Structure 1
Amino acid sequence: MESERLRLREFTPADLDLLVELDSDPEVMRFLTGKATPRGEIADVVLPGMLRVYGEHPGLGTFAAEEKSGGAFVGWFGLQPTADPGTVDVGYRLNRAAWGKGYATEGTRMLIDYAFGELQVERVVADTMAVNHRSRAVMRRSGLRFARLWHEHFEDPLPGTEFGEVEYAIDRRTWEAGRRA
């Protein structure tokens, strides 16, 4: 998949170091786990899980994002299956050097268009911590709209967890109406 500035591709086992570097930045992980993901966990759990999704759910998964000009790795974008077969979950994780350049919105829009246009899903959702205002802004700019707020109990909560989690969503009809406008 390609957008104006990004190219998405499936991850391979050779991409381990890219994922380790991405998940080693505490700012990148701030609203996710609050800490770096150990290399062994990425090698033994995270990357094999990503690779497994490609075979189990054709068209879905976590895709390496690279700049079309120069090929620099900027992070990843993903479309994940949900419990509802007509709904997919869109998400992203970008290197800090890629923040503030519009990549998050560009890649998210690309995957939303792909989900409705190619995969023929009925609904796309995304979620984040309520206090993650930058990701919430990306969701809004990507065409997703606030759907709900909920609270979860975590054994080791991150700062801001007490404000809850938010879901944003768009359905096929709304997406189609936006494309005609």
Structure 2
Amino acid sequence: METERLRLRQFRIDDAELLVGLDSDPEVMRYLTGQPTPREELEDVVLPGILKVYAEHPGLGTFAAEDRDGFVGWFGLQPTDEPTAVDVGYRLLRRAWGKGYATEGTKALIEHAFTELGMERVVADTMAVNHRSRDVMRRAGLRFVRVYHEHFEDPLPGTEFGEVEYAIDRGTWEATQHG
């Protein structure tokens, strides 16, 4: 899949180093786990899990994102408990922040979900205090749905403000498309 500035492709088993580089930046992981993901976990759990989704859910998964200079992060379109709904997400290297890539890639996956996969709803969530990610969700066309609270054994700073869910349904998305 390609956008104006990005190419999205499936990860391969030899892409572990890309994930290690991404998940080793504490700022990238700030609202996720708050710490780098261990290499062993990426190689033995995360990457095999990514490859498994491709096999079990055609058209869905976590896709490596590249610009003209190389790897910038990933965009994901994941299955949910609802067969006609998918969850969209992204994680970008710090060098890719502030360039509009997150919005561009998210919009492309939302379009893919509705036009190619026949989905009825796309959802996304983040910590309530993650304002940059919430801004991306809004710019991509997702609408605020709710605040909810989850229990974490080792909560990150800001967890007390909850998580937020954003979503868009097919009808709303179609009404916003011009031409």
Normalising to structure 1: TM-score of the pair? 0.98
Return the offset for 1:143. 0.1
Tell me, in whole angstroms, the C-alpha distance in 2 between the residues paired with 1:45 and 1:102. Answer: 30
Question: 1:28 is matched by which residue type in structure 2?
Answer: V
CA distance in 2, matches of 1:2, 1:164: 34
Residue equivalent to 1:92: 90
Give the equivalent residue in structure 2 for 1:30.
Answer: 30
Matches within 5 A, 1:77-88: 77-88=75-86
Q: Does 1:179 align with 2:177?
A: yes
- Letter matched to residue 156 of structure 1: D
Distance 1:175 1:133 in 2: 23
How many residues are matched? 179
Distance 2:151 2:8 in 1: 34
Cα distance in structure 2, aligned partners of 1:128 and 1:102: 18
* 1:48-96 deviation digits (Å, cap 9, x = unpaired): 00000000000000000001x24x1000000000000010000000000
Distance, in Å, in 1 between the alignment partners of 2:52 and 2:100 is 29
**Alignment partner, residue 147 of structure 1:** 145
Seq. identity, %: 75
- In 2: Cα distance, 1:78 partner to 1:169 partner: 15
Provide the residue aligned with 2:46 in structure 1. Answer: 46
Hey, what does 2:111 align to over in structure 1? 113
| Matched AA of 2:52 | R
Offset from partner CA, 1:110-154 (integer Å, 9 cap, x none) = 000000010010000000000000000000000000001101110
1:5 aligns to 2:5 (yes or no): yes
Alpha-carbon distance in 2 for matches of 1:180, 1:105: 18
Letter in 2 for 1:26: P
- Secondary structure at the counterpart of residue 177 of structure 2: helix
Residue type of the partner of 2:123?
V
Q: Secondary structure at the match of 1:47?
A: helix
| Aligned-residue CA RMSD (Å) | 0.8
Shift of 1:176: 0.5
Alignment-derived partner of residue 132 in structure 1: 130
Give 2:49's aligned amino acid.
Answer: G
Aligned-pair CA distance for 1:180: 4.0
Runs of 4+ in structure 1 deviating by more than 6 angstroms, as ranges, are none
Output the amino acid matched with 1:159: P
Looking at structure 2, the residues matched to 180 and 88 of structure 1 have their Cα atoms a distance apart, in angstroms, of: 23
Mapped pair 1:101 → 2:117:
no
- Residue 82 of structure 1 aligns with an amino acid whose one-letter code is T
1:23 CA drift (Å): 0.3
* Structure 1: gaps spanning 5 or more residues: none
Structure 2 length-normalised TM: 0.99
Report deviation, 1:42. 0.3
Q: Which amino acid aligns with 1:149?
A: V
Distance (Å, rounded) in 2 between the aligned partners of 1:3 and 1:74: 14
Tell me which amino acid in the other structure corresponds to 2:61.
Answer: G
